[in-house]
Structure 1
Amino acid sequence: MTEARKPASSHQDQPVQDGQRLYLVLISMHGLIRAQNMELGRDADTGGQVLYVVELLRALATHPGVARVELLTRQIRDSRIDSDYAQAQETLSDAPNARIIRLPAGPDEYLPKEALWPHLDSFSDHAMAYLRQQDRLPDLIHSHYADAGYVGMRLALQLGVPLVHTGHSLGRSKRQSLLASGESERRLEEKYHLSHRIRVEEETLSMASLVVVSTQDEITSQYGMYDWAAPERMRVIPPGVNLSRFDPAPRPAPPIVQELNRFLRHPDRPPILALSRPDERKNIAGLIHAYGQNPALQARANLVIVAGNRDDIRDMPAGSRHVLTEILLLIDRYNLYGQVAYPRHHQPDDVPDLYRWAASLRGVFINPALTEPFGLTLIEAAACGLPILATEDGGPRDIIANCHNGHLIDPLDIPDMGKQLLNILNDAKKWQQYAQNGIAGVRQNYTWQAHVEKYLAALDALPLTAPLAADIAVSAEQRVSANHLLFLGARLLDPPPAPNQLEDLVTTLHQKRRQVALGLVTTRPLHELLALLKQRRLAIPEILITRAGTQIHYGTGLTRDRAWSRHISVNWQGDRVYDLLSETPGLHLASRSSQGFYAVHGFIDGDFAGLVALEDQLHQQDIPARLVAIHPQEFLVIPQRASLGFAIRYVADQLDMALDHVLVVGSAQADLDLLGGNILAAQIGREIAQDQLREDIYPCTADGLTGVMEAIAHYHFLENSTQGG
């Protein structure tokens, strides 16, 4: 794994530096990410994951085995937030070989993670363009959370490098917990798009060479809910805590204490401290119920809720607004004024001070979340000598087992939560033991130095993979001299287009033949496409991409791109696929002699469960492959690295051509893979449901080749090709 990798293509000829030292790329899509003054708790998306990825970035950069590490995230230009998030690059002041790279994805403004899905293809294309400009390819891609998992899969497949993934939280676990709390299935789907997220998580788990988890509980209780999870590819590597910030050494009372004391009638009482984003999954309401229903607990301690930052609750996103409004209503319901502090603002530097202040008053830290994949705040509090109570659902099980510094609670058992809090506050001997255990346990089990050592050891065990390299004998650049590419779905030629439509298109493209190269894409084999061209009396275009992206040919000589074939052939198990499917009831396959080198062609009989079941079957057999539907009853199984969209992007890269110089016009469900991202895209016909079309895909009003001319006019494609821009 530590072997240096060569540049991706022939136009990248700078020498690889740093020998055996690694170049690592992390991806974290959502939240507000910067290296300094992190706005943790500002909203539901700017929490523990943001801190985790930035601390991981910093810790990796300090290791002598790492030459360079970058964190790719979304660039945001929004007057409501700091201009730091609009900067294209940020170098860490204490780690010059670590950078945060911000790339466009969709609109400029800040978006919650649930709204990012339609823009991930664009981010992926920008990320590919950035990585292709570097003097070497990264040694791996490490994605964080489901949205980055989608991007990571695309980058890893196109570049031919391993994918490492950290889930942070999982859709199935989230759905289960929220349903248990009373949410409806319909509302969850509308709000969180969980079905799509869970499918992406399944695909990411099936492809990742390594899945980094924080606790053993994640493997058994959370990833265990996933069909395509492979425990043998998972490693428990707990995150660390910055011990230079989080320590138990006494300090003078910090300024934020004055702010808290404004709320409290008896400020010297021990505080019950809760610190989290204003997110309903954090179950702050459950904590207030537990406190409000326990008069003895109210007499013994104050409740301090630090739930992000706010100026005006009415200006916050709906989820945060709901949580904070409920906090205020519950305080009023139980008449807890003078007993509960809920400051509007806090700074990152206030967080360790809050833990130390609570410990100095012999208080307790609580995480009452419905589910908690890990719980960074728990080890931070423990490092400062503050005992903890934490949800029994998720990562806190391991933390308390390792540190012996508190108790687990059932977040839905309100009376017991109050009882557990009172017990720990009233037992001075136990409180002292938990405080000492936490300080020692964190130093033994949860440092970033230990995390990085285990992480790099796990990477070193990964098998080497060959990155995509240019074929010196045959390249697209030798075959195509145009500065723009027009790709059409071959279905536009069948049934036969009207003669005037065909003549108009042929004449138009002939006039621009020096600027615009034509390509055809199809799920069908090469010989069928050639026969179709002969029937239509059309010359062979410059580029043919056939069998769903498994073969690329150039020009009238039909020269095959062997570099592409080598790239997609990695881990391809065609014989296994054929044998498995030929023995599956409800399927029948074309004869072996008519199969492609990198495609298995099959048909579904009426009694088969469907393509989703077929995809599940392939993954259960640990076969890395992609399923392509040609028709509802006809399909191809192709290598994981192959697709029509990936093939087009590969050709554009060989030509050193920006994707906005490529126009793709698709015509059917099978063409969806082509459309979107930074490629100019248009859709013809009514076969695709409106909810599957995205804003970045132009819906043509005309059919057939007239629709192609409409798409060309819409994008001013021919005018731009003449101008070279």
Structure 2
Amino acid sequence: MHISIHGLFRGTDPEVGTDVDTGGQVRYVLDLIEAMGSHRNIRKVDLLTRKITDARVASDYGVDLEALSPKVSIRRIPCGPSRYMRKELLWPHLSEFTDGALAMIREQGELPDILHAHYADAGLVAVRLSKALGIPVVFTGHSLGRFKLANLMARGMEREKANQTFNLTERIEAEEETIENAALVVASSKNEEREQYRLYDHYERKRIMVNPPGCDLAKFGEKPGKAVNQALQKTLARFLDDPAKPALIMLARPDPQKNILAAIETFAEAGLRDMCNLVLFLGARDDIRELEPAQKKLLQDVLYLIDRYDLYGSVAYPKTNPPEMAAALFHYAARSGGALLGLSRHENFGLTLVEAATAGLPVVTSGAGGMSDILDICKNGIVVDPDNPAETAGRVHELLLDPTRWKQMAESGKAASRANLTWKSHLDRYLGEVREIVRAQVTPEVRITQPKPLSKSTRLLICDIDDTLTGDRDAISRLNRIIAQRDDITFGISTGRNLEGAMETLQSWSVIEPQFLITSVGTEIHTNFGELIPNGRWSRHLQFRWSPQRARDVLGKVPWLRPQEGEAQARFKISYYCEDADATTIANVKTLLRKNGLQARVVVSRNYCVDVLPVRASKGHALRFLAAQWSIDLSNIFTAGDSGNDLDMLRGLVKATVVGNHSGELEMLRDDPNTWFSSRNSAAGILDGLVHYGLIAPTQ
């Protein structure tokens, strides 16, 4: 199962290049799942992406299920507002996507063997699914936040401005967590592995596979049909006085990183502009004035340079370029004796260079990032300095005037790309690794086995204890009566206390006996249908990468962490006191653990308590584990809490109530449509939430 959330995904006529979120990653994922669908050893491939209903985009993106072939489907899941949104705005809504994915998996009735996440947002979702279901995660970053931040700062942007603009703090933490939990990380080039993944605390060379993406031989290796050639010729004839000249081509979305202006500056040199044409396929656009500011400025600069150097009749820049026409462009440029310009400041890989090689078109490249890997494999081009247009123009001129050298590069690119850079070769390498992961994987502990006492129940009510349930005895009595009278409600608690402490507190406050208990901050689950029984599957699930003694040894040297009392400690929970604990505390503890090769979840509550847990442990993960095991729809789960360690059981598709006496850690949920902030404290707030959600009448 692949997960790629942002951008526009559809199987027919994908709109690659429409914006920065619908670029190379979209094409990579679509080509990959299509190739997987043709592989005899793969039974089923699903791609989970965001469902979009927006008049500005095609209605295709609002269809729940799109079958691409008998084995391959795109499944679309709601994630925040229905309109199209850039990826930086989706972070607050990923819990909804996660719960939607859980519901979809439950409806299918089988667990996928692998969750393959593309980009940081999908990585975070895949890790959350893995923590609930025990499925191994494969991660392809495509673009990494630490590297982007370093580049932005090198170009003069302040760190704070970069973080605000691109949500880099949240993105980098998601990448750290994904790399930490992934069974395999796929890098497209040696440069990406060496220069980017090494920047992360959880970098481990043994878990990274360098596996360059493939090229569609049928699309780029074979000559295009007559109809598409005619369409291309008609398009170019609108711009070019002499279409027979050698064509220098560039295919890129309108992004400053692609260095499009450098291509125009190079072409404007007298030696080239008289000899060649320049063809720019810069994605699709309608009205430049309506584009994102960065795209708008770049395209305005493109038009300015064309006018400044009076390149009319020599430069083509069509408004649209369908995928089949883009493929035909490579062959047109090869027939004309031209070259591909790949002058980007950085590329994780540079798939257009492979497509050029497959079509027999030499390349002129900056060699930045993964593009140097392609030249090493294909020997089909030259490396230039795009910041020196005159020198670059001279070297391009020399190449085009040397037919023997040009032909050697063209033939070398064809042969090497077919031998090493096809989707078949990519999948052969990929499946070799994935088979080992699946073979070594412990059978997931989730089983859909609903206890008989739940047969009449359609809803779960889960409440934290301290300051959520406790504090108002009259309200507790009313809540007890409702739970006792309603066969459709199964009542449970979720608490930071251990089992013994939880039961004592419930008894002292005369709370009705719960039918299940999630205790010790989500590290223990007990059912209570006549007999208190621990959930052994959950305990086995939590053993994943848990090294408690090593964690105690490392954190025992931290002066600002003070161990809590013995009764607060548990098999899967290490607890400390810390003055003024906050998000910075979490980051510092996690970084310290990561640098010592340890993986753990860190939770702060009440700005004073710090809990270190297995990576799969939390109240929210335990709740979703039970929901999957009991086949309960998450929209029929009602939760209530008051502090930070309740956060992930309040997010997503569950119907959450935050009681009036909550801590400031939960204010981030204030705009969540599935969260009700009650003005009433403790159990009275829980009752208020049940009224709000229509579960009980106001008079009850």
Assess same fold via TM > 0.5.
yes
Contact 1:287 1:417 in 2 (8 A): no
Of 670, 686, 690, which aligns to 1:712?
690
Cα distance in structure 2, aligned partners of 1:719 and 1:660: 19
The one-letter code of the counterpart of 2:614 is P
The equivalent of 2:339 in structure 1 is: 364
Helix, strand or coil at the partner of 2:108 = coil
The answer to whether residue 276 in structure 2 is matched with residue 298 in structure 1 is no
Matches within 5 A, 1:340-351: 340-351=315-326
Matches within 5 A, 1:273-672: 273-292=249-268, 294-462=269-437, 463-470=440-447, 478=453, 481-493=456-468, 497-511=471-485, 513-555=486-528, 557-590=531-564, 595-604=569-578, 610-672=585-647
Cα distance in structure 1, aligned partners of 2:448 and 2:251: 55
Contact 2:64 2:76 in 1 (8 A): yes
Of 96, 99, 106, which aligns to 1:132?
106
Helix, strand or coil at the partner of 1:33 = coil
Contact 1:118 1:694 in 2 (8 A): no
The equivalent of 1:687 in structure 2 is: 664
- Evaluate the alpha carbon distance shift between residue 570 and residue 422 of structure 1 in structure 2; reply closer, same or farther with a 3 A threshold: same
The equivalent of 1:22 in structure 2 is: none
The equivalent of 1:218 in structure 2 is: 192
Matches within 5 A, 1:24-103: 25-93=1-69, 96-103=70-77
- Evaluate the alpha carbon distance shift between residue 357 and residue 151 of structure 1 in structure 2; reply closer, same or farther with a 3 A threshold: same
The one-letter code of the counterpart of 1:79 is A
The one-letter code of the counterpart of 2:267 is Y
Contact 1:471 1:563 in 2 (8 A): no
Cα distance in structure 2, aligned partners of 1:184 and 1:327: 27
Contact 2:106 2:631 in 1 (8 A): no
- Evaluate the alpha carbon distance shift between residue 505 and residue 689 of structure 1 in structure 2; reply closer, same or farther with a 3 A threshold: closer
Cα distance in structure 2, aligned partners of 1:658 and 1:271: 57
Contact 1:476 1:554 in 2 (8 A): no
Deviation at 1:594, TM superposition (A): 5.4
- Evaluate the alpha carbon distance shift between residue 453 and residue 112 of structure 1 in structure 2; reply closer, same or farther with a 3 A threshold: same
C-alpha deviations, 1:349-374, integer Å up to 9, x for none? 10121011111111111122221111
C-alpha deviations, 1:390-442, integer Å up to 9, x for none? 23321101000111111234455555544443443344333222212211121
Deviation at 1:560, TM superposition (A): 2.0
- Evaluate the alpha carbon distance shift between residue 516 and residue 689 of structure 1 in structure 2; reply closer, same or farther with a 3 A threshold: closer
Cα distance in structure 2, aligned partners of 1:174 and 1:410: 21
- Evaluate the alpha carbon distance shift between residue 150 and residue 493 of structure 1 in structure 2; reply closer, same or farther with a 3 A threshold: closer
How many residue pairs were aligned?
Answer: 690
Helix, strand or coil at the partner of 2:665 = coil
The one-letter code of the counterpart of 2:679 is T
% identical equivalent positions = 35
Contact 2:250 2:342 in 1 (8 A): yes
Deviation at 1:208, TM superposition (A): 0.5
What TM-score results when the alignment is normalised by the length of structure 2? 0.92
Helix, strand or coil at the partner of 1:492 = coil
Cα distance in structure 2, aligned partners of 1:471 and 1:363: 60
Cα distance in structure 1, aligned partners of 2:643 and 2:579: 22
C-alpha deviations, 1:454-511, integer Å up to 9, x for none? 1111112322222023497xx65546853212222223258x5244443443344444
- Evaluate the alpha carbon distance shift between residue 250 and residue 655 of structure 1 in structure 2; reply closer, same or farther with a 3 A threshold: closer
Deviation at 1:141, TM superposition (A): 0.8
Cα distance in structure 1, aligned partners of 2:405 and 2:110: 55
Contact 2:223 2:328 in 1 (8 A): no
The one-letter code of the counterpart of 2:372 is R
The answer to whether residue 240 in structure 2 is matched with residue 264 in structure 1 is yes
Contact 1:370 1:412 in 2 (8 A): no
The one-letter code of the counterpart of 1:702 is R
Contact 2:240 2:314 in 1 (8 A): yes
The equivalent of 1:166 in structure 2 is: 140
The equivalent of 1:201 in structure 2 is: 175
C-alpha deviations, 1:27-74, integer Å up to 9, x for none? 111222122222111222222211211221122222222122221212
The one-letter code of the counterpart of 1:341 is A
Helix, strand or coil at the partner of 2:443 = coil
C-alpha deviations, 1:111-146, integer Å up to 9, x for none? 222222122111111111222233432111111111
The one-letter code of the counterpart of 2:664 is E
Deviation at 1:220, TM superposition (A): 0.4
Cα distance in structure 2, aligned partners of 1:642 and 1:465: 17
Contact 2:240 2:313 in 1 (8 A): yes
Cα distance in structure 1, aligned partners of 2:295 and 2:371: 24
Q: Which moved more, 1:250-259 or 1:64-73?
A: 250-259
Contact 2:468 2:681 in 1 (8 A): no
- Evaluate the alpha carbon distance shift between residue 607 and residue 183 of structure 1 in structure 2; reply closer, same or farther with a 3 A threshold: closer
Q: Which moved more, 1:60-69 or 1:590-599?
A: 590-599
Contact 2:562 2:577 in 1 (8 A): yes
Cα distance in structure 2, aligned partners of 1:416 and 1:546: 68
The one-letter code of the counterpart of 2:194 is T
The one-letter code of the counterpart of 2:170 is H
Helix, strand or coil at the partner of 1:548 = coil
Cα distance in structure 1, aligned partners of 2:448 and 2:565: 31
Cα distance in structure 2, aligned partners of 1:592 and 1:708: 31
Deviation at 1:531, TM superposition (A): 2.8
Contact 1:505 1:705 in 2 (8 A): yes
Q: Which moved more, 1:61-70 or 1:681-690?
A: 681-690
Contact 1:290 1:417 in 2 (8 A): yes
Deviation at 1:337, TM superposition (A): 2.4
C-alpha deviations, 1:576-630, integer Å up to 9, x for none? 3233333555434346675212112223479999332221222233333211223
Cα distance in structure 2, aligned partners of 1:671 and 1:529: 15
The equivalent of 1:698 in structure 2 is: 676
Deviation at 1:548, TM superposition (A): 1.0
Cα distance in structure 2, aligned partners of 1:408 and 1:718: 70
- Evaluate the alpha carbon distance shift between residue 573 and residue 113 of structure 1 in structure 2; reply closer, same or farther with a 3 A threshold: same
The equivalent of 2:149 in structure 1 is: 175
User: Where do 5+ consecutive residues of structure 1 fail to align?
Assistant: 1-24
Deviation at 1:165, TM superposition (A): 0.8
Runs of 4+ in 1 over 6 A off after TM superposition: 605-609
Contact 2:120 2:175 in 1 (8 A): yes
- Evaluate the alpha carbon distance shift between residue 588 and residue 688 of structure 1 in structure 2; reply closer, same or farther with a 3 A threshold: closer
Q: Which moved more, 1:133-142 or 1:682-691?
A: 682-691
Q: Which moved more, 1:463-472 or 1:376-385?
A: 463-472
The equivalent of 1:190 in structure 2 is: 164
Cα distance in structure 2, aligned partners of 1:578 and 1:471: 36
Cα distance in structure 2, aligned partners of 1:266 and 1:244: 29
- Evaluate the alpha carbon distance shift between residue 74 and residue 703 of structure 1 in structure 2; reply closer, same or farther with a 3 A threshold: same
The one-letter code of the counterpart of 2:464 is G
Cα distance in structure 2, aligned partners of 1:509 and 1:138: 36
Helix, strand or coil at the partner of 2:413 = helix
Helix, strand or coil at the partner of 2:373 = helix
Q: Which moved more, 1:429-438 or 1:609-618?
A: 609-618
Contact 2:454 2:490 in 1 (8 A): no
Deviation at 1:344, TM superposition (A): 0.7
Cα distance in structure 1, aligned partners of 2:388 and 2:525: 61
The equivalent of 2:124 in structure 1 is: 150
